[in-house]
Amino acid sequence: MANLIPFKAVRPQRDKVHLLCSRPFYTYKKSHLKAKLESNPYSFLHVINPEFNALNKTVPNSAERFVLVKNKYEEFKKNKFLFKDEVAQFYIYRQTTEFGIFQGIIAGTSVQDYQSNIIKKHENTIQNRENIFKKYLDITNFHAEPVLLAYNPTKLIKQIIAQNILERPEYEFTTTDRKVHELWLVNQPDVISKIQEEFKLINNIYIADGHHRIASSSIYQQSKHNHFLSNYFLSFFIDQKELKIFEFNRYINSIYPLNEEEFLEKIKINFNLKLLEEHQPPSSKMELSIYLKNKWYLIKIKPQKISNDFKSQLNSQIVSDFILKDILNIKTTRKNRNIEYIKGNQPIEFLVNKVDNNKMSLAIQLYPHKINEITTMADLGDAMPAKSTWIEPKLRSGLTIYEY
């Protein structure tokens, strides 16, 4: 039984929404981030980067830095770039991209549902990052980017969404990444009640993106026992069949102390290897494509080498077990500087160019995971390897802000 509440969002003025909402700051290269901050005084990036152009800066992730974030946020409200809704409501959001159309409901979602495993994770979190974001919440008292939650909506929920998007949206704008964003307000008391009642019929919800944000919200909630709003976190519910899941490819900076021949010989122990005349992506979860020394290879795991359990047969697990650990001695992937993760919605030439510019490097192209692999791992209470999936949609920061 999922528990949702409507909330009074802090959101942009209609004439500034296209200027204010931003991608998460960590998705920008430094040069692009600087250009955005220099050219757009309304960007929410100024809230997240309050010391832009300052000579003396605070320590990243420090309490002093988060106080400045809070101050800049209050300044945006004082200048009326942002305002707070007068009534609690749900929000229907739709994003139209080259990858597909994504739509669903933005709401406050119960932290207890996460703690009781109604909301399930498929990825492990790092305690240090949880604690940093919990400190951020303690000081700033707001969520600016929803956790992306996947579920199977009921027929009535689908009908409510379909009916509401027939109306003119409150917001409709296009961003420079060629995505169209639309937002509708759902404030009729009877519709709000219907949505809440329908979600009580739903018992399995999966975190698609935002594992650390929700884990931090759980820690925050446990320290704020008497604060009602701390029992909920900002979330965006989307039909799990609508998610677009890309692979997260691996780039290895160096295969040293192995050379090309030695590496390929080790590959042949567990894989069948085929030299390709040109690039060919893997066609099943048993396959991988690797690029080394200006050559593409298709490799397929030998069936007798893997266990029969579900996790062992995941494409990303095969990479971790039989290439990263066995051959390259990369056992802890999150902190190892020899590995980079390259999202799969980029042209393959991006990987090729990185390898061509570094003679000792290696690219591994994975096969995209399916939603049933994510949900099965979550149902099993187990975790996939780090950075197994790149999931669309990616949500904008500052569109509907949840205040504590």
Q: How confident is the model at residue 331 (pLDDT cuts 50, 70, 90)?
A: confident
Q: What is the reported pLDDT for 295?
A: 97
Which residues is 96 bridged to in the sheet? Answer: 101, 180
Token pair of 282 as six digits: 């893997």
Contact (CB, 8 A) for 306 and 320: no
Are 130 and 168 within one domain? yes
pTM of the model: 0.91
Are 161 and 290 within one domain? no
Q: What is the reported pLDDT for 31?
A: 87
Residue 34 has pLDDT above 80, yes or no: yes
Are 329 and 218 within one domain? no
Are 197 and 343 within one domain? no
Burial state string for 319-351 with b = 16 or more CB within 10 A and e = fewer than 16: bbbbbbeebbebeebeeeebbbebbbeeebeeb
Q: What's CA 92's distance to the chain center, in Å?
A: 19
Are 197 and 54 within one domain? yes
Split into its structural domains, the chain has a count of 2
Of residues 228 and 224, more confidence is placed in 228
Q: What is the CATH number of the domain that holds 291?
A: 3.30.1760
Q: How confident is the model at residue 334 (pLDDT cuts 50, 70, 90)?
A: low
Are 29 and 100 within one domain? yes
Lowest mean pLDDT among 58-72, 309-323, 327-341: 327-341
Are 132 and 189 within one domain? yes
Q: Tell me what the mean pLDDT of segment 23-38 comes to.
A: 87
Domain boundaries, position 239: 4-244+392-403
Are 233 and 252 within one domain? no
Q: What is the CATH number of the domain that holds 49?
A: 3.90.1530.10
Are 30 and 173 within one domain? yes
Of residues 128 and 245, more confidence is placed in 245
Residue 29 phi, psi (nearest 5): -70, 155
Are 343 and 209 within one domain? no
Q: What is the reported pLDDT for 44?
A: 97
Are 207 and 186 within one domain? yes
Q: How confident is the model at residue 55 (pLDDT cuts 50, 70, 90)?
A: confident
Q: Tell me what the mean pLDDT of segment 58-74 comes to.
A: 96
Are 12 and 152 within one domain? yes
Q: What is the reported pLDDT for 324?
A: 96
Q: What is the pLDDT of residues 369-378, one digit of tens each?
A: 999 999 999 9
Q: What is the reported pLDDT for 123?
A: 83
Q: What is the pLDDT of residues 68-122, one digit of tens each?
A: 999 999 999 999 999 999 999 999 999 999 989 999 999 999 999 999 999 999 8
